[in-house]
């Protein structure tokens, strides 16, 4: 396994992508991340892109600036363009 740190959820996925069983460190990181997610303690969450665009457009200017800093304006712009084009939210 190269370019991905062991002991991370990404490492867990990489093991399978490489056709390997995950090592103990990666398996434990994966289980811990799943546990955090189930308990609402995750540091981030997957959100459908179109829903994110809708939330962004309805956010205060201060929150919009923060979203741009964290997510990047070009990515947000492409999501907003898709939202404006009428793309449905895929759950
Ligand atoms: Zn590993």
Write the pLDDT tens digit of every residue in 21-53.
999 999 999 999 999 888 888 888 889 999 999
Q: What pLDDT sits at residue 3?
A: 66
Mean pLDDT of the chain: 91
Q: Which two tokens stand for residue 13?
A: 């996925």
| Residue 71 Cα to ligand 1 middle (Å) | 28
pLDDT over threshold 90, residue 4: no
| Residue 28 Cα to ligand 1 middle (Å) | 9
In the chain, what are the helix, strand and coil shares in percent, each to the nearest 5? Answer: 60, 0, 40
Q: What pLDDT sits at residue 56?
A: 97
Q: What pLDDT sits at residue 84?
A: 95
Q: What pLDDT sits at residue 42?
A: 83
List all residues 6 or more positions away from 59 whose beta carbon is below 8 Å from its beta carbon.
67
Query: Could you tell me the maximum CA-CA distance found in the chain, to the nearest angstrom?
Result: 46
Domain boundaries, the chain: 1-44, 49-84
| Residue 31 Cα to ligand 1 middle (Å) | 13
| Residue 20 Cα to ligand 1 middle (Å) | 9
Q: What pLDDT sits at residue 90?
A: 74
Contact predicate 6/23, CB 8 Å: yes
């Amino acid at each position: 396994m190269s370019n991905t740190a062991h002991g991370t959820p990404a490492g867990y996925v990489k093991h399978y992508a490489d056709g390997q069983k995950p090592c103990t460190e990666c398996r434990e990181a994966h289980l811990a991340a799943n546990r955090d997610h189930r308990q609402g303690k995750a540091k981030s969450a997957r959100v459908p892109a179109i829903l994110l665009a809708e939330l962004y457009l309805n956010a205060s200017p201060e929150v919009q600036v923060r979203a741009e800093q964290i997510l990047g304006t070009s990515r947000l712009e492409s999501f907003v363009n898709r939202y404006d084009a009428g793309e449905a939210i895929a759950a």
